[in-house]
Amino acid sequence: MKVAITKEPLDPYKEVVAYEREALPPGKHGGVVIFVGTMRDFNDGENVRSMNLDHYPGMTERHIERVCQEAMDEWDVMDTLVVHRVGEMVPTDPIVLVAVWSAHRKDSFDACRYIINYLKERAPFWKCEITTEGKKHWVEHNSEDPGVAQRKLQKTA
Amino acid sequence: MDIKVRYFASLRDRMGRAEDQVSLDGDKVTVADLWSKVSDEPIAENILVAVNMEYTDTSHELKNGDEVAFFPPVTGG
């Protein structure tokens, strides 16, 4: 398992190839499922010029590692790789990579979906967008999640 | 007890600072007690709380050396 937070531009496909060579025994996995999240040039009807991604160092890594471990406990997964950008980025930049290796595809599909969904719900990152008019605004919630699940987290964590 | 308090994202902008170092007296001091030391306003409904990097709520009892973070809903991925 590898979790990395980086300020550098992210080339997700190079990361997958490099990690597979370095960490996976050759010939044992039947596939890798990859999710790459990229930056849009619009959000809530506004045109976005750039974005700054803030995070809570230490807590972020801890919670992503926990989500990956939960996925490895739940499905028959050989390995997981998560790389997340922070700092300044522009539309089309990759923001996040989740890659999951398994012997059979169902496990890696299910585990990859679980990891990205719970990363978005629990990992302390915050997007601050700069619009084409130069206005700065913090994104208040992810589009898939109105925030309700995060309130529940406090009770169940 | 001494507590390190951290604020992130829009809450950091609203507080006008990234962190505080707070000394509190007495036992059974909760996160809610700490919040009333650092802000005159009630804690907003959507604000999340972490103590030592684990999610919790405002009834959590603090101990010396804890790091408490307040932040808005997370928006990564």
Q: Do A154 and B56 touch (CB under 8 A)?
A: yes
What is the spatial distance between Cα A38 and Cα A40, in angstroms, rounded to a whole number? 6
Q: Which two tokens stand for residue A104?
A: 């059979």
Kindly give the confidence (pLDDT) of every residue in chain A, 157 residues in length, as a single tens digit, with 9 standing for 90 and above: 999 999 999 999 999 999 999 999 999 999 999 999 999 888 877 799 999 999 999 999 999 999 999 999 999 999 999 999 999 999 999 999 999 999 999 999 999 999 999 999 999 999 999 999 999 999 988 766 444 444 444 444 4
What domains can be seen in chain B, in order of their start residue? Answer: 2-71 (3.10.20.30)
User: pLDDT by residue (tens digit) across B1-36?
Assistant: 999 999 999 999 999 999 999 999 988 999 999 999
Residues from B in contact with A at Cβ < 8 Å: 6, 8-10, 13, 46, 48-50, 53-57, 69, 71-77
Q: Which residues pair with A4 in a beta bridge?
A: A83
Every domain of chain A and the residues it spans:
2-156
A9 class by beta-carbon count within 10 Å (0-12 exposed, 13-18 middle, 19+ buried): exposed
Phi-psi group of B70: left, alpha or beta (phi > 0 → left; psi -120 to 50 → alpha; rest → beta): beta
Provide the shortest C-alpha distance from residue A38 to chain B (in Å): 9
Which of B30, B54, B66, B75 to probe by mutation at the A interface, max A CB count within 10 Å?
B75
Shortest CA gap B19–chain A (Å)? 12
CB atoms < 10 A from the CB of A63, how many?
25
The CATH fold of domain A2-156: Aldehyde Oxidoreductase; domain 3 (3.90.1170)
Residue of B nearest to A37 (CA): B77
User: How distant, in Å, are the alpha carbons of A37, B32, B45 from that of A12?
Assistant: 10, 42, 37
Closest CA to A107 of A82, A72, A64, A152: A72
In Å, how far is B3's CA from the nearest CA of chain A? 17
- Going by C-alpha positions, the residue among A114, A50, A39 that lies closest to residue A82 is A114
What pLDDT, in 10s, does the model give residues B31-58?
Answer: 999 999 999 999 999 999 999 999 999 9
